[in-house]
């Protein structure tokens, strides 16, 4: 079964590259390929999944190329698919593309190959969502996350929970449907399974709190009195001279924003105006903006100039900050001479200990290796898991005091929420499980 | 030639489905012919001597609330009553009656004979008479039913026909190497109808079920087994039953052992299920003993309940030993079982194979998609069980009558009845084995209890014309009393008034006063404590007191269920036209398009329950639905 029209698109990015791929999908893919591609290696029919070296010809040019045919349904879209790998120049690829369109192929809409894969049952919804996330991803972590969704990592995690819950439910349902015949007491085992699933889901859910870090990045604000070296630190982190550095206090009047990556996560770094009582109206605006940036930060780097004595002003500023979010960064000097509490000692000018500071940031947010773990990035999934956890909580709470029919109201609710993610039919699975596991029935 | 007799409806088969269908039609004033291969087989209980049990009890209560006959006759023929699941929660309390099989058959036959509008007739239907309708592209209709031809050549004309052939279509009974072409207990089987159904283009399949041997009570050593008595003070099925039901029969529990299992395994090559003789699809729901032994090899023993077949016979049913092993193996098998060592077999166990139709051929009204006016109910639709059959019979009878009157069919919903769950499962998901009702299939189980079946269905039954004045009055009385009880429960009691009862029940005393409602709310207390505190409540019926207690005690869970029903109601209300060609709906996955075209769901909710239709497909359908609505409105 395939859609009526055959679609074509460049599968590689619009950039200079050594090779470029044109992809064709639909019922005419093979005949189009035969029209545009010739090879001495082809004897009779084009074999599926074999790479042929040959020649691609258009009205205006001929060039060497490879051609691979994927026969329906064993292809990405589930339809007949042909890929032509040619040299990477855009003019060349555009030429092949236009030739195919003139021969009757339709330019594909964005995401149309994936959509066809989905319609033909080649990928499930979670995977399709993963693919679309990947295409629009902006950080490595986001790509990794999308990749994991696409690979069905989330489906796998959820499927494992569904599996366990189905088992727990089947044990309880067997009691209700076969009260006389079921000889074993399934209650303790079911409870253990439910608790296990709840713990698993909580772990997955906890990671959703970090979801924003993956999709939007981490917000870090530099904060401190004027002229303590915030801008130098920013430059050190970014490794260039983005911020103007002078030794005149109050140089940074606006809020500077920069992006960089740590551990695969995007970071939005904000350098703010040094905070002081200022009469300068422009500087005042800067200070106001700085305060806002500090409010929205996930991590605040409180920079101190340790070449001088700690002042009351410094103490006062520190006290206005959210201590949970704040890392005390000692800059410029010898902490022994003017001792104060610091989480890390750096030298912004030389870049010393910047790595250590980065590590501290990840630790502070508890996001080490986040880019490499499965995180819930879709609102739909987060909602489903959250409500499943709530339902399981209810069930566990009354497990020993309520009758089984009541307990099952909540457990089955949880099961349905999870099934919403993968689209499984859980009701039939429960019945199957009852009969595969227990010897019941007259 | 005599002129053809004319009927509103012909019911083919007078089993549990057929009788209930005819009864419903008669109530609705429809002239009905009830055709049976053998009147001796009318409402014959071919397998176990029980009516009710888990989820099946619920069905019987629902049939009764809709003016059906099964519960009433069952009560009359009951010889022992038990309430299963008493400790597992109110939703699953399930009444199960041991029934006198002969008495049940005789009483039902008499009812059918005496009910006006029903003509009882022995005869075999061999052909359905169809008037062809030129087929429209979008519709599935190929023709319209106009009558039935019998083996004698008689032609009966009818506006509607209900197929309720049970397990009789091309039935084959198998005991070891012995194969007989008859229905259950040697009754005549139906010969010609299957071919006719195939010619009509219906999807026919072959299913299999089975039954254990029967033994003579005098040859059973009951002292070696555990007696099982009926429960005291139990309700009965029908609201019409006035006399207390009989409850004096005794059943006996014993077990198989490793010797039994070894004997079975040693003779497996002679078991039709394992040597290829049987090709029908068997039900996991009623496995044979050879199935149980093979599938659960670790089990040391399997339960056997020895149950009386009736009060007028010494034959006993050996529940748990359903088998199609040869007769000599069956005899040896019993010798290994405690209490049955010398049991004399009166009838051997057997497997039975029969033809049935794929229930995906049906709409939820139980009318066939391809033939107007033709309905099907009972085991022909791929179900198992007397109660499942009767429930479908009632709905088929009702909807055949509505068809004649030009009214929309009554579609039982999942949120109001087990009947709704049963039929929706059948026509939406189909089944690959004989389908058994189970409480786990009802997602709104807390709301679908035995004790509130009349609250759920009786008013609807009245509106549909199924519930007569007597039932209706009894229900009005019940509603009135329930209301009074709720009112009386507002009364508050001082500590001194409850102290004695609370202390005895080891329940903490209230701070100040406590109302009757609050007393029932407490999980350790029930209506009997309330009766002890305030004997005034004795004037109310136990049935109503228990009902009110459940409504109060489980209020939170009932509320959750109501919420869930409301959520699903949104999709239930979105009606899908039957002429939609899903192949043309963009963005639906291909598998979903094919499944939707096959099932032709009536609502978006039904569509969502089709296996292979995902939540994403439903979202697509919703968008399509809105677009279609908008187009319709703009026209």
Beta bridge partners of B162: B11, B375
Tokens of B498: 């409850």
**Per-residue pLDDT at A1 exceeds 50:** no
**What's the pLDDT score for residue A218?**
84
Least confident span in A225-239, B81-95, B310-324, B599-613: A225-239
Closest residue in chain A to residue B323, using alpha carbons only: A442
Interface test with A, best of B56, B88, B386 (most A CBs within 10 A): B88
Nearest-CB residue to A179 (from B84, B557, B560)? B84
Least confident span in A108-122, A229-243, B335-349, B567-581: A229-243
Contacts of A121 in chain B (CB under 8 A): 589-591
A382 touches A390 (CB < 8 A): no
CATH placement of domain B214-353: 2.40.30.260
B371-416: pLDDT as tens digits: 999 999 999 999 999 999 999 999 999 999 999 999 999 999 999 9
- CATH class of residue range B5-205+357-464: alpha beta
The A residues from 399 to 428 touching B (CB cutoff 8 Å) are 401-406, 408-410, 412-413, 420, 423, 425, 427-428
**Per-residue pLDDT at A242 exceeds 50:** no
Tokens of B249: 């029969």
State chain B's mean pLDDT as an integer.
Answer: 93
- Cβ-defined contact of B446 to A173 (cutoff 8 Å): no
A259-296: pLDDT as tens digits: 777 777 778 888 776 666 666 666 666 677 777 777 77
Q: How far apart, in whole angstroms, are the C-alpha atoms of residue B449 and residue B527?
A: 18
What CATH architecture applies to the domain A7-120? Answer: 2-Layer Sandwich (3.30)
Place of tokens 């069919």: B409
- Cβ-defined contact of A405 to B90 (cutoff 8 Å): yes
Indicate if A214-366 has the same CATH topology as A153-209+377-437. no
Interface test with B, best of A117, A178, A180, A433 (most B CBs within 10 A): A180
- B178 in helix, strand or coil? strand
- Cβ-defined contact of B616 to A1 (cutoff 8 Å): no
- Cβ-defined contact of B85 to A120 (cutoff 8 Å): no
- Cβ-defined contact of A180 to B303 (cutoff 8 Å): yes
Q: How far apart, in whole angstroms, are the C-alpha atoms of residue B530 and residue A11?
A: 76
Q: What percent of chain B has pLDDT over 70?
A: 98
Least confident span in A109-113, B98-102, B595-599: A109-113
Higher-pLDDT residue of B162 and A295 is: B162
B48 touches A181 (CB < 8 A): no
Beta bridge partners of A68: A51, A83
Tokens of B453: 């079946």
**Per-residue pLDDT at A436 exceeds 80:** no
In angstroms, what separates the C-alpha of A70 from chain B's closest C-alpha? 19
| Distance from the first to the final alpha carbon of chain A | 44
Mean of pLDDT values over B582-594: 85
CATH fold of A214-366 reads Rossmann fold (3.40.50)
In angstroms, what separates the C-alpha of B589 from chain A's closest C-alpha? 4
In angstroms, what separates the C-alpha of A130 from chain B's closest C-alpha? 15
**pTM of the full structure:** 0.80
Residue B289: other Cβ atoms inside 10 A: 26
**What's the pLDDT score for residue B85?**
95
- Taken as a whole, chain B contains a residue count of 635
Nearest-CB residue to A179 (from B88, B286, B445)? B88
CATH 3.50.50.60-classified regions of chain B:
5-205+357-464
Tokens of A369: 């290796």
Domain boundaries, chain A: 7-120, 153-209+377-437, 214-366
A174 by Cβ neighbours in 10 Å (0-12 / 13-18 / 19+) ranks as buried
A4 shares contact with chain B (CB less than 8 Å): no
CATH 1.10.10.1800-classified regions of chain B:
469-558
B464-512: pLDDT as tens digits: 999 999 999 999 999 999 999 999 999 999 999 999 999 999 999 998 8
Mean of pLDDT values over B190-215: 95
CATH placement of domain B574-634: 1.10.150.570
CATH 1.10.150.570-classified regions of chain B:
574-634
A398 shares contact with chain B (CB less than 8 Å): no
In angstroms, what separates the C-alpha of B5 from chain A's closest C-alpha? 43
- Cβ-defined contact of B54 to A439 (cutoff 8 Å): no
B281 touches B205 (CB < 8 A): yes
- Cβ-defined contact of B90 to A434 (cutoff 8 Å): no
Q: How far apart, in whole angstroms, are the C-alpha atoms of residue A61 and residue B421?
A: 66
- Interface pTM (ipTM) of the complex? 0.88
A15-25: pLDDT as tens digits: 567 788 899 99
Least confident span in B227-231, B324-328, B383-387, B631-635: B631-635
- Which stretch of DSSP H or E encloses residue A260? strand A256-262
Higher-pLDDT residue of A310 and A135 is: A310
Beta strand pairing call for A218-224 and A265-271: parallel
At residue A244 the predicted structure's pLDDT band, cuts being 50, 70 and 90, is: very low
- CATH class of residue range B469-558: mainly alpha
Q: What percent of chain B has pLDDT over 90?
A: 82
**Per-residue pLDDT at A246 exceeds 70:** no
Nearest-CB residue to B441 (from A125, A431, A441)? A431
Nearest-CB residue to A409 (from B48, B440, B560)? B560
Higher-pLDDT residue of A360 and A190 is: A190
A80 by Cβ neighbours in 10 Å (0-12 / 13-18 / 19+) ranks as buried
DSSP string, A288-336: HHHHHHHHT-SEEEEEEETTSPPPHHHHHHHHTS-TTTEEEEEESS-TT
CATH placement of domain A153-209+377-437: 1.20.120.430
**What's the pLDDT score for residue B463?**
98
Q: How far apart, in whole angstroms, are the C-alpha atoms of residue B556 and residue B571?
A: 24
B517-543: pLDDT as tens digits: 999 999 889 999 999 999 999 999 999
């Amino acid at each position: 079964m395939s859609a009526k029209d055959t679609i074509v698109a460049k599968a590689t990015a619009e950039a200079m590259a050594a090779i470029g791929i044109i992809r064709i999908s639909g019922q005419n893919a093979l005949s189009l390929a035969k029209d545009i591609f010739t090879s001495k290696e082809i004897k009779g029919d084009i074999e599926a999944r074999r790479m042929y070296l040959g020649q691609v010809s258009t009205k205006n040019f001929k060039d060497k190329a490879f051609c691979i045919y994927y026969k329906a349904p064993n292809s990405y879209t589930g339809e007949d698919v042909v890929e032509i790998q040619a040299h990477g120049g855009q003019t060349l690829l555009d030429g092949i593309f236009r030739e195919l369109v003139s021969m009757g192929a339709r330019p594909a809409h964005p995401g149309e190959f994936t959509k066809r894969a989905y319609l033909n049952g080649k990928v499930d919804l979670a995977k399709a969502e993963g693919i679309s996330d990947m295409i629009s991803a902006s950080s490595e972590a986001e790509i990794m996350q999308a990749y994991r969704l696409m690979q069905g990592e989330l489906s796998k995690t959820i499927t494992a929970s569904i599996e366990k819950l189905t088992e727990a439910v089947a044990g309880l349902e067997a009691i209700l449907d076969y009260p006389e015949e079921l000889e074993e007491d399934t209650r303790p085992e079911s409870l253990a399974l439910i608790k296990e699933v709840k713990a698993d889901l909580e772990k997955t859910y906890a990671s959703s709190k970090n979801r924003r870090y993956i999709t939007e990045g981490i917000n870090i604000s530099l904060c401190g009195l004027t002229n303590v070296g915030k801008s130098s630190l920013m430059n050190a982190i970014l490794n260039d001279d983005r911020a103007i550095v002078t030794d005149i206090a109050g140089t940074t009047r606006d809020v500077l924003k920069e992006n960089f990556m740590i551990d695969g996560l995007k970071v939005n770094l904000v350098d703010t105006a040094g905070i002081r009582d200022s009469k300068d109206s422009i500087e005042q605006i800067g200070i106001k903006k700085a305060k806002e940036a500090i409010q929205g930060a996930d991590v605040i780097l409180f920079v101190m100039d340790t070449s001088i004595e700690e002042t009351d002003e410094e103490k006062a500023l520190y006290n206005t900050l959210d201590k949970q979010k704040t890392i005390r960064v000692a800059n410029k000097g010898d902490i022994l001479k003017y001792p104060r509490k610091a989480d890390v000692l750096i030298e912004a000018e030389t870049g010393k200990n910047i790595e250590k500071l980065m590590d501290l940031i990840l630790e502070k947010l508890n996001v080490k290796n986040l880019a490499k773990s499965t995180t819930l990035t879709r609102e739909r999934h987060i909602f489903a898991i959250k409500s499943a956890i709530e339902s399981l909580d209810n069930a566990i709470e009354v497990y020993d005091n309520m009758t089984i029919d009541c307990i099952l109201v909540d457990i089955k609710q949880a099961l349905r929420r999870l099934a919403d993610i993968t689209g499984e039919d859980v009701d039939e699975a429960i019945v199957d499980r009852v009969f595969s596991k227990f010897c019941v029935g007259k | 030639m005599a002129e053809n007799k004319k009927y509103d409806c012909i019911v083919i088969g007078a089993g549990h489905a057929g009788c209930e269908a005819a009864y419903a039609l008669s109530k609705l004033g429809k002239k009905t012919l009830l055709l049976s291969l053998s009147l001796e087989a009318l409402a014959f209980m071919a397998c176990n001597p029980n009516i009710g049990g888990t989820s099946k009890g619920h069905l019987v209560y629902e049939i009764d609330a809709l003016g059906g006959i099964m519960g009433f006759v069952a009560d009359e023929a009951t010889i022992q009553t038990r309430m299963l699941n008493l400790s597992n929660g109110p939703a699953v309390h399930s009444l199960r009656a041991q029934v006198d099989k002969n008495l049940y058959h005789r009483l039902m036959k008499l009812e059918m004979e005496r009910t006006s509008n029903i003509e009882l007739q022995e005869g075999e239907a061999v052909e359905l008479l169809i008037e062809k309708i030129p087929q429209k592209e979008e519709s599935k209709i190929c023709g319209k039913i106009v009558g039935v031809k019998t083996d004698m050549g008689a032609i009966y004309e009818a506006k509607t026909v209900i197929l309720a052939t049970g397990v009789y279509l091309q039935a084959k009974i198998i005991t070891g190497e012995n194969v007989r072409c008859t229905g259950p207990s040697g009754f005549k089987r139906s010969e010609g109808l299957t071919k006719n159904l195939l010619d009509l283009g219906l999807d026919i399949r072959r299913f299999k079920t089975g039954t254990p041997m029967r033994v003579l009570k005098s040859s059973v050593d009951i002292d070696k087994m555990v007696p099982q008595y009926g429960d005291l003070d139990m309700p009965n099925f029908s609201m019409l039953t006035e006399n207390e039901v009989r409850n004096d029969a005794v059943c006996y529990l014993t077990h198989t052992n490793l010797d039994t299992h070894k004997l079975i395994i040693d003779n497996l090559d002679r078991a039709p299920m394992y040597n290829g003789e049987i090709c029908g699809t068997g039900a996991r729901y009623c496995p044979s003993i050879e199935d149980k032994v093979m599938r659960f090899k670790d089990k040391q023993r399997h339960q056997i309940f020895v149950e009386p077949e009736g009060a007028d016979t010494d034959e006993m049913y050996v529940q748990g030993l359903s088998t199609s092993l040869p007769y000599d193996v069956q005899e040896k098998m019993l010798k290994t079982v405690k209490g049955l060592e010398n049991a004399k077999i009166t009838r051997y166990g057997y497997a039975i194979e029969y033809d049935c139709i794929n229930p995906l051929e049906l709409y939820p009204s139980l009318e066939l998609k391809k033939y107007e006016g033709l309905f099907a109910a009972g085991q022909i639709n791929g179900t198992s069980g007397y109660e499942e059959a009767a429930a479908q019979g009632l709905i088929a009878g009702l909807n055949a009558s509505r068809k004649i009157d030009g009214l929309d069919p009554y579609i039982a919903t999942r949120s109001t009845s087990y009947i709704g769950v049963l039929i929706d499962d059948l026509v939406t998901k189909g089944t690959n084995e004989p389908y058994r009702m189970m409480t786990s299939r009802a997602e709104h189980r807390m709301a679908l209890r035995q004790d509130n079946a009349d609250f759920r269905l009786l008013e609807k039954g009245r509106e549909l014309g199924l519930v007569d004045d007597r039932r209706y009055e009894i229900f009005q009385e019940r509603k009135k009393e329930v209301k009074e009880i709720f009112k009386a429960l507002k009364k508050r009691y001082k500590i001194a008034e409850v102290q004695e009862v609370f202390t005895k029940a080891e329940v903490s005393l209230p701070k100040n006063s406590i109302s009757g409602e609050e007393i029932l709310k407490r999980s350790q207390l029930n209506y009997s404590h309330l009766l002890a505190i305030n004997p005034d409540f004795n004037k109310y019926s136990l049935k109503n007191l228990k009902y009110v207690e459940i409504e109060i005690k489980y209020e939170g869970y009932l509320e959750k269920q109501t919420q869930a029903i409301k959520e699903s109601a949104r999709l239930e209300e979105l009606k899908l036209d039957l002429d939609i060609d899903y192949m043309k709906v963009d963005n639906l996955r291909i598998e979903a398009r094919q499944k939707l075209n096959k099932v032709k769901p009536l609502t978006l909710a039904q569509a969502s329950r089709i296996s292979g239709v995902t939540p994403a497909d439903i979202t697509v359908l919703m968008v399509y639905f809105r677009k279609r609505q908008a187009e319709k409105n703009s026209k």
